[in-house]
Chains A and B, each alone.
Chain A
Amino acid sequence: MKILILGGFLGSGKTSVLLQLAQYLVQQSSGNQKSRVAIIENEIGQIGIDDKLLRGNGYTVRDIFSGCVCCSLNSDLLSGVQEIKREVDPEWLIIEATGVAFPDKIAESLFTNLGIAAQIVTLVDASRWQRIRMPLANLIEGQLNDAHLILINKTDLVEETVLREVEADLWELNSDAAIYLISGIKPIDERLLKVIQNG
């Protein structure tokens, strides 16, 4: 079971990317079965919103609400992962973190406690980067730590110069990550989905 953690600030497009990625992974699996992809949906609020959308698309979703799996709900995450491995044993487990979580802490916990190395994909909203970068610096910068891939989303909403500034900031914050541009107005390129799949 491979684990992918989808992180990034609130409203950066994690659920939309998850839907496209899950669909691609299902298509790539033998038998084209939705059961090959399991999803853990972590939402900061007590009542889930995104999980309802994901279930509506036919995926098996395990909810962890009212907190973050990177800290207070970490034990729920570990038991959830073990349960999914035991009962479903999918090819892929995608963990959608809350928009205020630190994905590197989730990956660290999975590795320390379960010996599983997870891939981190962090989304960045290009249209809001400059507005939230400074007031929420601790959170925004922390979400980029150890990301293997950074997807700059909503690129259609900003000027080219702004986009270059965002890219330059991201290079400075995490020079190890591969950076790709995406937008909500067209589907994610299959070549990029393959990059994510291959880690």
Chain B
Amino acid sequence: MADYKIKIRNSEQLSKRKSYQIVTTLHEGAVAMAGETVFQEKSFRALNTVIQEEFAAINQWIAARGGIVGHLKSFLATTGQTAMISTTGDQVSCRLQPAAADGSNGVLVSIALIVFAIPPNDLEARLIDLFEQLECAQKKGESHDR
């Protein structure tokens, strides 16, 4: 097992990997890829919806490529509320839970994709794509607020 460095010549993808703090770990044939970032507080519900929809799409994408979903999971935290979104290849579940109001601004979004038999660079591109969709959802939420 080792911290895995994916060879990518595309500088845009490298910069996005850094921006979303994406790190890959390999163990027993599993590719574990995790990333994290903070979005605007008002977008909690929109971000939750996008992650659930995208997890369902990633399930299908992995199955179509002959891979195995280990666990796709995400934790969203904003002041007063958290959400744990999870799937093991079939249905996507979401557990909302009240949290202490810590006064912080923004929604912390952590995502981990743990899969088998999918090339790491393809999975990284998929994770970056998910974070970009979250950015779009957040921007739409902001424009609605204005």
> What is the interface of chain A, defined by CB distance below 8 A to chain B?
9-11, 43-50, 52-53, 56, 66-68, 71-72, 98-100, 125, 127-128, 131-132, 135-136, 138-139
Which residues of chain B are within 8 angstroms of A68 by Cβ–Cβ distance? 1, 27
B93 to A, closest residue via Cβ: A184
**A136 CA / B68 CA spacing, docked (Å):** 10
Which residues of chain B are within 8 angstroms of A10 by Cβ–Cβ distance? 30, 70-71, 88, 114
Cβ–Cβ contact A45 & B68, under 8 A: no
Given contacts A66-B3, A100-B28, contact A49 B82 (CB under 8 A): no
B22 to A, closest residue via Cβ: A46
Which residues of chain B are within 8 angstroms of A125 by Cβ–Cβ distance? 88
**A67 CA / B26 CA spacing, docked (Å):** 8
Q: Which of A49, A100, A138 contacts B27 (CB 8 A)?
A: A100
The reply on B134 being an interface residue by CB < 8 A is no
> What is the interface of chain B, defined by CB distance below 8 A to chain A?
1-3, 21, 23, 25, 27-30, 32-36, 68, 70-71, 73-75, 77, 82, 84, 86-90, 97, 99, 110-112, 114, 116
**A99 CA / B70 CA spacing, docked (Å):** 8
A-B contact count (CB 8 A): 96
Cβ–Cβ contact B23 & A49, under 8 A: no
| A46-B25, A128-B88, A131-B89 given; 7 more Cβ-contact pairs under 8 Å | A11-B73, A48-B110, A49-B34, A52-B77, A99-B71, A100-B30, A100-B70
Cβ–Cβ contact B68 & A56, under 8 A: no
Cβ–Cβ contact B28 & A49, under 8 A: no
Which residues of chain A are within 8 angstroms of B73 by Cβ–Cβ distance? 11, 49-50
B72 to A, closest residue via Cβ: A11
Question: Which A-B residue pairs are the 8 nearest by beta carbons?
Answer: A45-B34, A11-B88, A46-B23, A10-B70, A10-B71, A47-B34, A11-B71, A44-B32
Cβ–Cβ contact A45 & B70, under 8 A: no
Q: Shortest distance in angstroms between A92's beta carbon and chain B's nearest beta carbon?
A: 23
Given contacts A67-B25, A68-B1, contact A47 B82 (CB under 8 A): no
Which residues of chain B are within 8 angstroms of A99 by Cβ–Cβ distance? 30, 70-71, 114
Cβ–Cβ contact A47 & B35, under 8 A: yes
A157 to B, closest residue via Cβ: B90
Cβ–Cβ contact B74 & A49, under 8 A: yes
**A131 CA / B112 CA spacing, docked (Å):** 22
Which residues of chain B are within 8 angstroms of A49 by Cβ–Cβ distance? 34, 73-75, 84, 110, 112
Cβ–Cβ contact A67 & B28, under 8 A: no
Which residues of chain B are within 8 angstroms of A66 by Cβ–Cβ distance? 3, 23, 25
Q: Could you write out 28 A-B pairs with CB less than 8 Å apart? A: A10-B88, A11-B73, A44-B27, A45-B23, A46-B23, A47-B21, A47-B35, A47-B36, A49-B73, A49-B84, A49-B110, A49-B112, A52-B75, A52-B82, A53-B75, A53-B82, A56-B97, A66-B3, A67-B1, A67-B27, A71-B1, A100-B27, A100-B28, A100-B32, A100-B114, A128-B89, A135-B116, A139-B28
Q: Which of A11, A46, A71, A136 contacts B34 (CB 8 A)?
A: A46
Cβ–Cβ contact A136 & B32, under 8 A: no
Q: Shortest distance in angstroms between B8's beta carbon and chain A's nearest beta carbon?
A: 17
